[in-house]
Structure 1
Amino acid sequence: MTNSTLAQLLDPAITPRLVVKVGSALLVGKDGEPRREWLTALVAELAAARARGQDVIVVSSGAIALGARRLGLAKGGRGSLADAQAAAAVGQIALAGLWAELLAGHGLTAAQVLLTLDDLEERRRWLNVTATLGTLLARGAVPVINENDTVATEEIRFGDNDRLAARVGQAAGASAVLLLSDIDGLYDRDPRLPGATRIPVVRRVTPEIRAMATGGSSSGLGSGGMTSKLQAAEIAGLAGMALAIIDGQPVAPVGEALASGRGTLFMARPRKGARKAWLGGKLRVRGSVHVDEGAAAALARGSSLLAAGVTRVEGSFVRGDAVSVVGPGGDVLGRGLCEYDAGECARLIGRHSREHEEILGYAPRSALVHRDQLVLI
């Protein structure tokens, strides 16, 4: 997607496969009941996209909010992990049934897919998700995806559906991700402040762009604020997908956003190979390797990471684990699969490759992180 207009999200020639993320506060009212009129209008928009020839994947929050009402749980079901898991177990049935009913009204088949973080972090399980989504879309179904909150604990959670939507888009080979939010895009400061200006197009998420984000969601029902949306945009960009944030509150929100031109579009970056896109989008890393300026410059030229340029190693990891590569200024330069465990890396810090065999007692590998297993961010 090279043009910077939201309208391209509805062009099947440019966006043949679209992921649409719907947050809890949009789908569920403050009374804990689904906002049927709003959702009916949104489903009509999704059906129109299908009729234009676009594949559509829905990432839908709302299970915990719906289940909390039915179980009489306080704090929207988020008072404890046990409450949230119980609410999700009840609410997911209601949520799936709602989507299935409304999509069926347009002759479309809904398919429920529940995921945990490990399903998209572990390579083999990632490939299984990719295959399943591909089959569902080829058969004309509309996958409706949510985090599996009934079994997910803090250690294996995405924590928000913004990043889940971007990872699902990667797995499905989507062209773009559309986040329906309670705000109409990214602002240069807190949008409640005088003079706040919406940023219509972001070509790359830089430290300056990250500084514009605020952590909280104004709704109080969801878990994803602007910070999670920027993280989703980074994941999407690395996979060659555009990502847009629009105000999801109006009835028929997609049409409203396109008619008004209001939203923020994060442009796609050049698409990487599937394995490197998966690496770049990984949310869980086991440690970090800090490098000096010379190594950072070499990485930018496409080189592998050698131990001679490493200044510090953090974390506990084994060979094959994902690690962050951190530059001298503290910025994460990339992620890669390390060829050594953390203890070996620590012993090799700053040492030339010709010294490795004597230090380790075995023939060394060609690099600490090989360029084929490394993606720059």
Structure 2
Amino acid sequence: GDNDRLAARVAQAAQASAVLLLSDVDGLFDRNPQEPGAKLLPEIRGVTPEVHGMATGDSTSGLGSGGMKSKLQAAEIAELAGISLAIANGTYKRPIARALDRNIGTLFLPRRKAGARKAWLGGRLRLKGALVVDAGAAKALAGGSSLLAKGVTEVEGSFHRGDAIAIRDEGGKVLAHGLSEYDAEECARLKGRHSSEHAEILGYAPRSAIIHRDQLVLL
């Protein structure tokens, strides 16, 4: 599993256009490949919750939690950097030629080409802290909005304006990385409050968002 994610990180760092992962299955199937009627998915654009749902079950042939799930995580890393990722069967002779010649495998295409800054924010920064957000803020972030103080429920770590921090939901899932517009102490004072109250609380209010949408990337 770590090797899959590492391969995606190396591709990201090298600014590669594509990365290939070899497995012991032909690619991602719509269900356990040993079940009758299972279909190989040749192309997927974006790793959605539905795609993750296909990598479940107790199979040890690459589809189970220890195999395909880690490859989907690698595909997410690649997608964030605008990189295509392919999964093919490596148990055959000349596996790469086989996959190319017979068009067997699953190709994950990014939904959009990520800029260098977004890729940098997504995985190549040392995080200095975290903000925990409520369900409303999590939904707003998924819709492309900035993170407002109203949706912040907890502030973790010691960070300053411009530092990279994580954004997590109340269940502990990391939703995004971003550059904070405020120090941790200021965030703690502003959490749960409306933007219109910032000036009264801090004595100044240069920025309405805790993290502007242009300074964050969803994971």
Does the TM-score normalized on the shorter chain lie above 0.5?
Answer: yes
Distance 1:232 1:295 in 2: 23
Residue 216 (structure 2) pairs with residue 363 (structure 1): no
The answer (yes or no) to whether the contact 1:161–1:224 under 8 Å persists in 2 is: no
For the residues of structure 1 that align with 2:19 and 2:12, how far apart are their CA atoms? 10
TM-score by length of 1: 0.49
Q: CA deviation at 1:205?
A: 0.8
Superposition map of 1:308-347 within 5 A: 308=150, 310-313=151-154, 315-319=156-160, 320-324=163-167, 326=169, 333-340=175-182, 342=184, 344-347=186-189
Tell me how far 1:253 sits from its aligned partner. 0.5
CA contact (8 A) 1:290 1:313 kept: yes
TM-score scaled by length of structure 2:
0.79
Cα displacement string for residues 303-339 of structure 1 (whole angstroms, at most 9, x for unaligned residues): 432213x15226435231321254x999765321233
Other structure's SS at 1:363 match: coil
Give the structure 1 partner of residue 43 of structure 2. 201
Distance (Å, rounded) in 1 between the aligned partners of 2:46 and 2:36:
26
1:272 to 114, 127, 134: 114
**2:105 matched to which residue of 1?**
263
What whole-Å deviation, never above 9, does each CA across 1:48-91 have from its counterpart, x for those lacking one? xxxxxxxxxxxxxxxxxxxxxxxxxxxxxxxxxxxxxxxxxxxx
Q: Secondary structure at the match of 2:74?
A: helix
**Aligned equivalent of 2:73:** 231
Output the CA distance in 1 between the equivalents of 2:31 and 2:124. Answer: 28
Contact 1:216–1:226 (CA under 8 A) maintained in structure 2: no
- Does residue 300 in structure 1 map to residue 140 in structure 2? no
Of the two, which has the highest radius of gyration?
1
1:289 counterpart residue number:
132
Give the equivalent residue in structure 1 for 2:20: 178
1:160-189, Cα deviation, whole Å (9 max, x unpaired): 111111111111111111111122111223
What is the CA distance between 1:192 and its match in structure 2? 3.3
Structure 1 counterpart SS, 2:70: helix
Superposed CA deviations along residues 87-133 of structure 1, whole A, max 9, x for unmatched, are: xxxxxxxxxxxxxxxxxxxxxxxxxxxxxxxxxxxxxxxxxxxxxxx
Aligned equivalents of 2:101, 2:206: Cα separation in 1:
56
Amino acid at match of 1:313: E
Structure 1 residues 364 and 325: CA distance shift in structure 2, 3 A? farther
**CA contact under 8 A between 2:82 and 2:113: conserved in structure 1?**
yes
State whether residues 138 and 175 of structure 2, in contact with CA within 8 Å, keep that contact through their aligned partners in structure 1: no
What's the RMSD between the two structures over aligned residues? 3.4
User: 1:240 aligns to what?
Assistant: 82
Contact 2:31 2:39 in 1 (8 A): yes
Deviation of 1:236 after TM superposition, in Å, equals 0.9
Deviations along 1:137-172, one digit per CA (max 9) or x if unpaired, are xxxxxxxxxxxxxxxxxxxxxx61111111111111
SS state at 1:183 partner: coil
Note if contact 1:325-1:335 (Cα within 8 Å) is conserved in structure 2.
no
Confirm or deny that 1:353 pairs with 2:195.
yes
5+ long unaligned stretches in structure 1: 1-158
Larger RCO, structures 1/2 (Cα 8 Å, 6+ apart)? 2
> In the superposition, relative to structure 1, how do residues 260 and 201 fare at CA in structure 2: closer, same or farther (>3 Å)?
same
Select the structure that is richer in helix.
1
Task: Kindly indicate whether the alpha-carbon contact (under 8 Å) linking 1:181 and 1:249 is maintained by their aligned counterparts in 2.
Answer: yes
- The 1:298/1:216 distance shift into structure 2, 3 A limit, reads closer
> 1:287 deviation in Å?
2.9
State the 1:266 CA deviation: 0.5
Q: CA deviation at 1:343?
A: 5.3
CA contact (8 A) 2:87 2:105 kept: yes
1:230, distance to aligned residue in structure 2 (A): 0.6
Q: Does 1:251 align with 2:93?
A: yes
Give the secondary-structure state (helix, strand or coil) at the position aligned to 2:20: strand
User: Which AA in structure 1 matches 2:167?
Assistant: S
Q: Deviations over 1:327-375 (max 9, x none)?
A: x999765321233455543432231234224434x53451211233211
Unaligned runs of 5+ in 2: none
